[in-house]
Amino acid sequence: MDPALNPFKPGSGLRPPALEGRDAEREQFDLLVARSKHRNYDRGIMLSGLRGVGKTALLNTLAEHAENQGWLTIGLEARPNEAGVSAVRAKLGNELVAGLRRFSRRHKLQKALDGLVELARGFTLGVGVGPAKVEFKLGQQAATGDLDLDLEELVEAISEVMKKRATAFGLFIDEMQDLDPDLLSALLAVQHRAAQREWPFFVIGAGLPSLPSVLADTRSYAERQFAYSTIGPLTNRDAADAIRIPVEQSGGALTPEALDILVEASGGYPYFLQEFGKAVWAVAPEAPFTEDDALFAVEEGRRALDGGFFPSRWNRATERERRYLRAIAATGETTPRSGTVAAAMGQTTTAVSDVRDSAIKKGLIWSPEHGRIGFTVPGMDDFIRRQPTE
């Protein structure tokens, strides 16, 4: 088929041609937005799941919906090792300045939010802006340099304006497990305060399966603060739609047998659906795509994954981490006990705990429950077993 019309987009955070199977999360969020118009506030939402399962795509869709419904929205992507309170402050502050400007333009507020913009600038720098410069009277003080206080002051000032307008302030944070611990702790405290005082401020986060425990370890009340949602693979039916709809919209078609093969090979995992969808479009000479086209596409798709998706993770691992990852893959279990893995390496659990921790920090593996370990992307174990030992 014409490559120029290929609708599929394997990649990180790329908007899929059809976002299937996320109705529950979207409805839950729609309700939060709808209620905010009645100044009736609910909890923020935390999405967690393996890499490539579609968290970023979903988070972006939610943010877009909120923005279209008149929310002030800010997006942040946390990065590991992005330490330094001043760096994260600057990032959050700059995004806020940009977001407030966007909001002003969109709602034709001219200079009405200049005071908030000044406050956000002061927050960025971690220095006082001086109440004299701030035009609206909310009794706020200059930024104190204390992250918790400054953030609270800023969120309160913004929330007050949003509440008056019967709208809300949404902070959308991707890869939230990697957020700087000081900022994370300050954000959870402010979210807590916001809930108590009925400020329309909501943190909507997405991250690896470790996210809920990272939050709980930061603040004990985090468990009750958000609605948690696990983002998993799609059902067969949704996975089939995720391929069929874009194919048909672009002028193609698939036999039911071809569709079954692609769905089955993907395991309903969104990244793989995009990869196999892209491949079937590329290899099929004409519509409808046949069983043969699908089988060929799965081979092509797997080659593409072996050339990029898997190695990009494997290549990030150190020599020692690779030995550990190989030992996990060799167990043949999805989530083996860390004790079993260590024993297979002829080591004690304690002796390899540092390499286990560093692989977790890099997002290569995660601990689904105490004492167990698994890969953060499906199929990684097969890939590793196919790698020649160096």
Ligand X SMILES: Nc1ncnc2c1ncn2[C@@H]1O[C@H](COP(=O)(O)OP(=O)(O)O)[C@@H](O)[C@H]1O
User: Which positions lie near ligand X, rule CB under 6 A?
Assistant: 9-14, 16, 19-22, 49, 51-57, 242, 270-271, 273-274
Q: Which is nearer to ligand X, 123 or 271 (CB)?
A: 271
Given Mg ion, ligand X, none, residue 10, with its beta carbon under 5 to 8 Å by kind, binds ligand X
**24 burial level (CB within 10 Å; 0-12, 13-18, 19+):** exposed
The CB-of-175 to Mg ion minimum distance in angstroms stands at 7
Residue nearest to ligand X (CB): 54
Q: Which is nearer to Mg ion, 55 or 244 (CB)?
A: 55
Are the beta carbons of 73 and 67 closer than 8 angstroms? yes
Are the beta carbons of 39 and 166 closer than 8 angstroms? yes
Q: Which is nearer to ligand X, 22 or 89 (CB)?
A: 22
Given Mg ion, ligand X, none, residue 192, with its beta carbon under 5 to 8 Å by kind, binds none
Given Mg ion, ligand X, none, residue 270, with its beta carbon under 5 to 8 Å by kind, binds ligand X
Positions in 50-89 near Mg ion (CB under 5 A)? 56
The CB-of-13 to Mg ion minimum distance in angstroms stands at 5
The CB-of-328 to ligand X minimum distance in angstroms stands at 20
The CB-of-206 to Mg ion minimum distance in angstroms stands at 7
Q: Which is nearer to ligand X, 21 or 205 (CB)?
A: 21
Q: Which is nearer to Mg ion, 47 or 88 (CB)?
A: 47
d(CA 196, CA 65): 26
Asked if residue 167 binds Mg ion (CB under 5 A), the reply is no
The CB-of-240 to ligand X minimum distance in angstroms stands at 11
In the complex, which residues of this chain contact Mg ion (CB under 5 A)?
56
